[in-house]
Chains A and B, each alone.
Chain A
Amino acid sequence: MSKREFKVVNKPLRKIDAMSLALGKPAYVGDFKPADALVIKMLGSPHAHARIKSIDISAAEAMPGVHAVLYYGNVPRIVHTTAGQGYPEPSPYDTFMFDSKMRFVGDRVAAVAAESNKIALAALKAIQVEYEVLEPVFRIQDAMQDGAPVIHDEPEAKAVIPVPYDAKRNMAAKVDMEIGDLEKGLAAADVTVDVPFYNHYAQHCPVEPHVSMAWVDREDRIIITTSTQVPFHCRRIVAQTLDVPVQRIRVIKPRIGGGFGAKQEIVLEDVVAMMALRTRRPVYWEYTREEEFVASRTRHPMLMRIRMGAKRDGTITAIGLDATSNTGWNGSQGLTVVCNSGSKMLPLYRCENIHFLGMAVYTNLPAGGAYRGYGATQAAFAFESAMDEIAEKIGMDPLQFRSMNHIRKGETSPVFRALGEGREGVDQAITSCELARCIKAGAKEIGWRKRKPHTAKKGRYRRGIGMACLMQGSAIPEIDMGAASMKMNEDGSFNLLMGATDLGTGSDTVLAQIAAEQLGTTLDKIIVYSSDTDMTPFDVGAYASSTTYLSGQAVLNVAQKVRKQILKVGADMLDCKASELGIEDAKVIRKNGESVTFSEIALYSMYASNQFQIGDMSSKIVHHSPPPFAAHFADVEVDTYTGRVRVVKYVAAADCGTPIHPRLAEGQVEGAVMNGICYALTEEYLFNDKGRMTNGNFGDYKLYTVSDLPEMKTILVPSYEKTGPYGAKSIAEIGINGPLPAIANAIYNACGVRLRTGPFTAEKVWRSLQAGGEIPFEEGH
């Protein structure tokens, strides 16, 4: 496939669902709640670590309006993972629908299904529980000590793929990889750094929290309508957890009110399915915001140690990255997130001596999971901060240092082969990279040439400019699969059925654009349906920045097959060879000017001759994961009296190949950058000494709103990724990785303060200023 002029692709067309969403038409799970649905409420553990000595649900069960109470004593005990990943999952099996052991404040004790919220909440109060309180452990370093409380002491806990797993030592995952010789590389360096970093807790904060409902149909099948990024994984894991056949379950995904990775997890669906079976009534469960913070999933907090060496000429001789995540009470996505900390950042700069050690450690705090950036966010903070530190030590401009070392088109990195997602990776050369142009364009926009060192700045308010370079991936090669099917209708329209999951990104529109471009028709002729496990073909779902690249190729493939069928029927109608025909404006056109419309072709194939419905299905697995690249720049102002940091301007220049829908691609970057700025400056989990989150609401846990936006500039620097659909790569995740390091570097450039733990609160900056530039490092939350 080569570059050419596009008619539908690369155009900012109106989203196919824009009008219905703007008009507030029913679209989300909550919009379809049956009037007679029972409400589910969950009793959460008050203790971070405890064993239930006794539980009495009889009073709750006897209350009028209560239809069922579930707890560990009356449901199957089947160990599984909640991670919505491909089978066999790289995440350990360490979770039960209900258990007698409590592993975090908010852990499932018992669930009630009742006629109303009020009755359900009253029933929760009527459940009598006696706990044996156990010693909890909250910090990574404490959980790794000999003799630390063991969080998963149940015999069933296990890894289901051959990877290191040691629940008795609270180790949920481990990966160790060396290329060359780190120590030799450090010894060969003129300068080295050996510094710690800590990435803090954060939540995805989708506007729509986790919400699911279920009922049992007349064929005794369980119909689950749920806000999920992974309908097919959801079906498989619910079947496993309830010990029912997959064929008995249908999962329907309507519109999703934001996911960002949080909904790549089976959080509610097992319970709603079980409740539907028990009560034979429709049941509905929606998390409160507090539950969303505590009991859904979070970004994995991570302790980092980075060692780096370089020669004075700017050659990087060694990179060592130790990343240890706090995976919380379960090991969901623990291995793969920490793998990504290595695989998504280490190939960015050329280096012959690389060591990566990744671990995931259980604690009695909320569980980590998939979150936009997926480990790369954490690594980018450490890596890109250390790049600035090294650059300063060798006296080189950090932009120049990055420019001379970053990977380029045609190059490869041994890291691609050495590190995959829970297993060895896949060799690949970089087939598109415009990072150099991203750096240049971003630097110009931010005014990098005027940047001065912090030592040249005086006064109370000091401005600083910082940067970070980034890469991510596009789907998981040799693992992820997408599929699409298509059929043509009498009026020349097409049904496009996809397992791909639009979680608010606009991927339904993007994928329809790919189909319309290939078919030679307009966007309005593509009727998209996604996703329903009974109706649409299999797709792993929306994660790993895969939808445009992977599902897009499945759509492109099926559209190519359908196009061939259209040409064949057209040739029959025009009495010529298919090779003499072209397609333009929903017509098959012969070189002599004769033509037939798509509608005529569809009618002919359905009713006139050699009758068949034009349509097909296609699956796609990818063999590459071409990285998108980005250069981010932050211009900040630090109030040195109070420590307050204000982002004055933020520039994100990104290479995502061909942006299929440029405006939606820009929206992905802007949303991700805002997400990252909040993570850098305001978002944090506060816990009391018992492990209870004390700020689980939007009054206290602060996110930016539109009125807080700094000046933002997004620059899409196009490249053409020959392995992607119409040259496209991913764009969804990469943007969130930049703000933490870019702002940290900008703060240093403003006032000489080096921050190694987020968020960069005013108090932290002030204390660092008081301490002369840096406060003692400690693991946070």
Chain B
Amino acid sequence: MMNYVDFKTPASVAEARALMKELGPQASPVAGSTLHVFLRDESPKVAVDISRLGLNSIDTLPDGYRIGATSTVGDLQDFHAPGWVLDRVAREFVTQPIRNVATLGGSIIRVFPWSDLPIPLLALDAVMEIEGDETRRIAAGDFFKSQPFHHLQSGDLLTAIHVPALASGQGFGYHKERRTTTDFSRCSVAVWMALEDDRVADVRIAIGAAVPMPCRMKAMEQALKGKKPTQSNFESAVQAGLDEGHWKGLHGISNEYARHLASVIVVDMLHAATDEAKGDAV
């Protein structure tokens, strides 16, 4: 647990940024505070409360949605709109009491091997909005290349996440493999796919938990483009791209099984995305 020595309640993003700049490494932005359970930094910290800055709305944009960083996972679950898929992901996020307090921003600013939310954001090619001396945008692929908080300078704040809406002919699949509802993920897979003329026009495959950091499986994606969405094509592409992953089993499972598990789930999620893209999703 963190060692908090003070609690600040800024009234605006600007005030929060100024405080964080002033405090430097001692500042610790907090909203849902669930992340802090997993941190072991014992140095004195000042909690800067960013949960009351109006960063918790989900706004509809012409091509998608802008999600405030302090929106809770429960907010993602409750939001319903055309092409919105994150409710499916949110439902698999631990339990309702935790979904009610854990925020999207807090769940992606520091990534653990078992983190849930980076996986769909990678597959959706989400864009992170960071409020610094100027507003910056970072694509998910870059954002999750290393620990995301490294992208932030002193006083910077992750304020929003942009995700596209699923359009006609597009589909999405997400699966989190776990032993119980409260379990950490053992392998998470998210797939976004666009079909044209019954062929894979574009696809993004993201994996987490079975690998040290969430990542895209670009070799698999490449192998699928232009192919018909069939079981054999999916299996061949997945097998061809498996060596790209640095497979690492968590919680007592072997690396070999982590790799196998990922291969099965990716194929499953390719089918799920295909079904949705074809309009066959249940």
| A residues adjacent to B (C-beta < 8 A) | 641-642, 644, 681-682, 684, 686, 695, 698-700, 702-705, 707-708, 761-763, 766-767
| In-complex Cβ contact of A686 among B179, B252, B264 (8 A) | B252
B19 / chain A contacts, CB cutoff of 8 Å:
none
| In-complex Cβ contact of B253 among A641, A681, A698, A763 (8 A) | A763
| In-complex Cβ contact of A702 among B95, B177, B183, B264 (8 A) | B183
- If the complex has contacts A700-B251, A707-B95, are A766 and B183 also in contact, measured as CB distance less than 8 A? no
Say how far B1's CB is from chain A's closest CB, in angstroms: 12
Contacts beyond the supplied A681-B179, A699-B184: 10 A-B pairs with Cβ under 8 Å: A642-B260, A642-B261, A642-B265, A704-B180, A705-B181, A707-B95, A708-B181, A762-B253, A762-B261, A767-B257
Please measure, in the bound complex, the distance between the C-alpha atom of A642 and the C-alpha atom of B177, giving whole angstroms: 10
Query: Which residue in chain A gives the minimum CB-CB distance to B178?
Result: A702
Q: Is the CB of A766 within 8 A of B251?
A: no
A641 / chain B contacts, CB cutoff of 8 Å:
264
The DSSP consensus for interface residues of chain B is: loop
Query: Which residue in chain A gives the minimum CB-CB distance to B186?
Result: A762
Say how far A700's CB is from chain B's closest CB, in angstroms: 6
B254 / chain A contacts, CB cutoff of 8 Å:
763
B95 / chain A contacts, CB cutoff of 8 Å:
705, 707
Could you list some 19 contacts between A and B, CB below 8 A? Answer: A641-B264, A642-B177, A642-B260, A642-B261, A681-B179, A686-B251, A686-B252, A699-B184, A700-B184, A700-B251, A702-B179, A702-B180, A702-B183, A703-B180, A704-B180, A705-B180, A705-B182, A708-B180, A767-B257
Query: Which residue in chain A gives the minimum CB-CB distance to B264?
Result: A641
Contact with A along B90-103 (1 / 0, CB 8 A): 00000100000000
Please measure, in the bound complex, the distance between the C-alpha atom of A767 and the C-alpha atom of B256, giving whole angstroms: 11
Query: Which residue in chain B gives the minimum CB-CB distance to A684?
Result: B252
**Would you list the 10 A-B pairs with minimal beta carbon distance, nearest first?**
A763-B257, A707-B181, A641-B264, A682-B179, A702-B179, A708-B180, A702-B180, A686-B252, A763-B253, A642-B264
B260 / chain A contacts, CB cutoff of 8 Å:
642, 766
Say how far A299's CB is from chain B's closest CB, in angstroms: 18
| In-complex Cβ contact of B252 among A642, A695, A703, A704 (8 A) | A695
A704 / chain B contacts, CB cutoff of 8 Å:
180
Please measure, in the bound complex, the distance between the C-alpha atom of A700 and the C-alpha atom of B183, giving whole angstroms: 7
B182 / chain A contacts, CB cutoff of 8 Å:
698, 702, 705
Contact with A along B155-194 (1 / 0, CB 8 A): 0000000000000000000000101111110000000000
A699 / chain B contacts, CB cutoff of 8 Å:
184
Please measure, in the bound complex, the distance between the C-alpha atom of A707 and the C-alpha atom of B253, giving whole angstroms: 24
Query: Which residue in chain B gives the minimum CB-CB distance to A644?
Result: B177
Query: Which residue in chain B gives the minimum CB-CB distance to A763?
Result: B257
A703 / chain B contacts, CB cutoff of 8 Å:
180
Interface size on B, residues (CB 8 A): 17
| In-complex Cβ contact of A682 among B180, B184, B253, B264 (8 A) | B180
Please measure, in the bound complex, the distance between the C-alpha atom of A708 and the C-alpha atom of B180, giving whole angstroms: 6
Say how far A461's CB is from chain B's closest CB, in angstroms: 12
A766 / chain B contacts, CB cutoff of 8 Å:
257, 260
B183 / chain A contacts, CB cutoff of 8 Å:
702
Of A642, A644, A761, the most chain B CB neighbours within 10 A belong to: A642
Contact with A along B245-280 (1 / 0, CB 8 A): 000000111100100110011000000000000000
A708 / chain B contacts, CB cutoff of 8 Å:
180-181
Say how far B96's CB is from chain A's closest CB, in angstroms: 9
Say how far B267's CB is from chain A's closest CB, in angstroms: 9
Please measure, in the bound complex, the distance between the C-alpha atom of A428 and the C-alpha atom of B252, giving whole angstroms: 46
Please measure, in the bound complex, the distance between the C-alpha atom of A642 and the C-alpha atom of B251, giving whole angstroms: 16
B184 / chain A contacts, CB cutoff of 8 Å:
699-700
B264 / chain A contacts, CB cutoff of 8 Å:
641-642
Please measure, in the bound complex, the distance between the C-alpha atom of A681 and the C-alpha atom of B180, giving whole angstroms: 10
Say how far A219's CB is from chain B's closest CB, in angstroms: 42
Query: Which residue in chain A gives the minimum CB-CB distance to B263?
Result: A641
Please measure, in the bound complex, the distance between the C-alpha atom of A766 and the C-alpha atom of B253, giving whole angstroms: 12
Query: Which residue in chain A gives the minimum CB-CB distance to B250?
Result: A700
Query: Which residue in chain B gives the minimum CB-CB distance to A683?
Result: B179
Q: Which of B76-132 contact A (CB under 8 A)?
A: 95
Query: Which residue in chain B gives the minimum CB-CB distance to A759?
Result: B179
A695 / chain B contacts, CB cutoff of 8 Å:
251-252
Say how far A356's CB is from chain B's closest CB, in angstroms: 33
Please measure, in the bound complex, the distance between the C-alpha atom of A681 and the C-alpha atom of B183, giving whole angstroms: 13
Please measure, in the bound complex, the distance between the C-alpha atom of A717 and the C-alpha atom of B184, giving whole angstroms: 40
Say how far A542's CB is from chain B's closest CB, in angstroms: 29
Say how far A698's CB is from chain B's closest CB, in angstroms: 8
Query: Which residue in chain A gives the minimum CB-CB distance to B182?
Result: A705
Please measure, in the bound complex, the distance between the C-alpha atom of A704 and the C-alpha atom of B253, giving whole angstroms: 19
Of A644, A698, A761, A763, the most chain B CB neighbours within 10 A belong to: A763
Query: Which residue in chain B gives the minimum CB-CB distance to A686?
Result: B252
Q: Which of B29-43 contact A (CB under 8 A)?
A: none
Please measure, in the bound complex, the distance between the C-alpha atom of A702 and the C-alpha atom of B265, giving whole angstroms: 22
Please measure, in the bound complex, the distance between the C-alpha atom of A767 and the C-alpha atom of B261, giving whole angstroms: 12
Please measure, in the bound complex, the distance between the C-alpha atom of A681 and the C-alpha atom of B179, giving whole angstroms: 8
Say how far A261's CB is from chain B's closest CB, in angstroms: 23
Please measure, in the bound complex, the distance between the C-alpha atom of A561 and the C-alpha atom of B257, giving whole angstroms: 66
Say how far B163's CB is from chain A's closest CB, in angstroms: 27
Say how far B178's CB is from chain A's closest CB, in angstroms: 8
A682 / chain B contacts, CB cutoff of 8 Å:
179-180
Query: Which residue in chain A gives the minimum CB-CB distance to B260?
Result: A766
A684 / chain B contacts, CB cutoff of 8 Å:
252
Say how far A512's CB is from chain B's closest CB, in angstroms: 35
Query: Which residue in chain A gives the minimum CB-CB distance to B258?
Result: A763
Query: Which residue in chain B gives the minimum CB-CB distance to A770?
Result: B260
Please measure, in the bound complex, the distance between the C-alpha atom of A695 and the C-alpha atom of B250, giving whole angstroms: 11
Please measure, in the bound complex, the distance between the C-alpha atom of A695 and the C-alpha atom of B95, giving whole angstroms: 21
Of B179, B183, B184, B261, the most chain A CB neighbours within 10 A belong to: B179
Please measure, in the bound complex, the distance between the C-alpha atom of A262 and the C-alpha atom of B265, giving whole angstroms: 40
Please measure, in the bound complex, the distance between the C-alpha atom of A550 and the C-alpha atom of B254, giving whole angstroms: 49
B251 / chain A contacts, CB cutoff of 8 Å:
686, 695, 700
Query: Which residue in chain B gives the minimum CB-CB distance to A706?
Result: B181
Contact with A along B221-259 (1 / 0, CB 8 A): 000000000000000000000000000000111100100
Please measure, in the bound complex, the distance between the C-alpha atom of A641 and the C-alpha atom of B179, giving whole angstroms: 16
Query: Which residue in chain B gives the minimum CB-CB distance to A704?
Result: B180
A705 / chain B contacts, CB cutoff of 8 Å:
95, 180-182
Please measure, in the bound complex, the distance between the C-alpha atom of A686 and the C-alpha atom of B225, giving whole angstroms: 42
Please measure, in the bound complex, the distance between the C-alpha atom of A700 and the C-alpha atom of B257, giving whole angstroms: 18
Query: Which residue in chain B gives the minimum CB-CB distance to A767?
Result: B257
Say how far B40's CB is from chain A's closest CB, in angstroms: 13
A762 / chain B contacts, CB cutoff of 8 Å:
253, 257, 261
Please measure, in the bound complex, the distance between the C-alpha atom of A761 and the C-alpha atom of B95, giving whole angstroms: 22
Say how far B56's CB is from chain A's closest CB, in angstroms: 26
Please measure, in the bound complex, the distance between the C-alpha atom of A681 and the C-alpha atom of B251, giving whole angstroms: 14
Say how far A645's CB is from chain B's closest CB, in angstroms: 10
B265 / chain A contacts, CB cutoff of 8 Å:
642
Please measure, in the bound complex, the distance between the C-alpha atom of A384 and the C-alpha atom of B93, giving whole angstroms: 38
Query: Which residue in chain B gives the minimum CB-CB distance to A703?
Result: B180
Please measure, in the bound complex, the distance between the C-alpha atom of A700 and the C-alpha atom of B179, giving whole angstroms: 10
Say how far A103's CB is from chain B's closest CB, in angstroms: 25
B177 / chain A contacts, CB cutoff of 8 Å:
642, 644
A702 / chain B contacts, CB cutoff of 8 Å:
179-180, 182-183
Please measure, in the bound complex, the distance between the C-alpha atom of A698 and the C-alpha atom of B260, giving whole angstroms: 26
Of B177, B254, B264, the most chain A CB neighbours within 10 A belong to: B264
Query: Which residue in chain A gives the minimum CB-CB distance to B251?
Result: A700
Query: Which residue in chain B gives the minimum CB-CB distance to A694?
Result: B252
A642 / chain B contacts, CB cutoff of 8 Å:
177, 260-261, 264-265
Say how far A289's CB is from chain B's closest CB, in angstroms: 13
Of A641, A703, A704, A705, the most chain B CB neighbours within 10 A belong to: A641
B257 / chain A contacts, CB cutoff of 8 Å:
762-763, 766-767
Please measure, in the bound complex, the distance between the C-alpha atom of A684 and the C-alpha atom of B253, giving whole angstroms: 12
Please measure, in the bound complex, the distance between the C-alpha atom of A682 and the C-alpha atom of B251, giving whole angstroms: 11
Please measure, in the bound complex, the distance between the C-alpha atom of A762 and the C-alpha atom of B252, giving whole angstroms: 11
Please measure, in the bound complex, the distance between the C-alpha atom of A700 and the C-alpha atom of B253, giving whole angstroms: 12
Say how far A574's CB is from chain B's closest CB, in angstroms: 61
Say how far A736's CB is from chain B's closest CB, in angstroms: 18
Please measure, in the bound complex, the distance between the C-alpha atom of A431 and the C-alpha atom of B46, giving whole angstroms: 70
